[in-house]
Amino acid sequence: MHRQIRIGSRDSNLALWQAKFIESLLQQQGIKTEIILVKSEGDINLTSPLYEMGVQGIFTKTLDIALLSKKIDIAVHSLKDVPTQLPKNLKITAIPKRANVKDALVYQDPNFKISDNAGITIATSSLRRKAQWLNRYPKHSIESIRGNINTRLEKLKNTPHWNAALFAVAGIDRIGLEVPNKKELDWMLPAPAQGALAVVCREDDPETDSICKTLNHFETATCTGIERSFLRNLKGGCSIPIAALAIVDKNTIRFKGNILSLDGVRKVEIEMEFSIGNFENAGKLAALKLLESGGDKIAQELKSFMTE
């Protein structure tokens, strides 16, 4: 009989949904579970822009510490928030099947139409979304919005000069929110690993590792692995304007990635295809091609910005 698995989670509605989703998968195998709540710095500070808070691992650090100190047995994260380099003695043991990868525009006025007219204000705390939006709509204004999904929706409702805000579709869908004025953005490339979850455990806990490995979805793990390798080889954290998406199409993996300047004026984008049987270096090859195509100049500027 396996011991009970203690699942660490942040206490937002979305984080709890994620933890309970993993809990349900484990319970289907007859595993006893307990959810333990841990508050992260990213949840506590709702005013500072993410890039001012040393964003690398900001939503995962507290859970990782609880995991390393053996207060919990696994941590459940949004994979896009997980640094490409995990702390020593921690490992991603499973990546379940991915949800919707797209971003969405949520707007207040049901008659609102997107145009490139000046005077339109969009709210987002994501530099990636901001850069891609300004690349497409350079006359718009962007303002920062922080907090969990419910908090951001409430802020949008109570800020009259904001026309709309940008959200990840997966987050809205997972907690079952009814958002009537929502438009999925087919043109906006998502963050690497957006829509996927990560189950993290200690390397010195083979029993938990073995149990949780059964939750892994090969196609999702493959595609997000390529996207995260692309990000790692560009030396980018989860807060800068780097986007990537890998999709399996029969025996081919189709990859698209881009990097933008912070103001959205400059964009370098690439598309590549890889064989499903030969994708080990796909992320690195894609990153090198992007850099060679002019992305190196933008990447260097972004690196300077992040270290200022």
Are 107 and 121 spatial neighbours (Cβ–Cβ below 8 Å)?
A: no
User: 146: exposed, middle or buried (C-beta count within 10 Å: 0-12, 13-18, 19+)?
Assistant: middle
As a whole number of angstroms, the longest Cα–Cα distance in the chain is 64
1 in helix, strand or coil? coil
Catalytic site residue from 64, 73, 81, 103: 81
DSSP 157-201: HT-TT--EEEEEHHHHHHTT---SSEEEETTSPPPTTTT-EEEEE
Q: Which amino acid is at 89?
A: N
Look at residues 166, 152, 226 and name the one whose alpha carbon lies nearest to residue 196.
226
DSSP letters along 229-246, please? HHHHHTT--TTSSEEEEE
81 catalytic? Reply is: yes
d(CA 286, CA 302): 18
Q: Which residue has the tokens 């295809």?
A: 273
3-state secondary structure of 70: coil
Number of alpha helices (DSSP H) and beta strands (DSSP E) in the chain? 10, 13
259 phi, psi to nearest 5 deg: -140, 140
Q: At what angle do helices 218-233 and 282-290 cross, to 10 degrees?
A: 40
CA atoms within 13 A on the CB side of 147: 13
- Residues forming the active site: 81
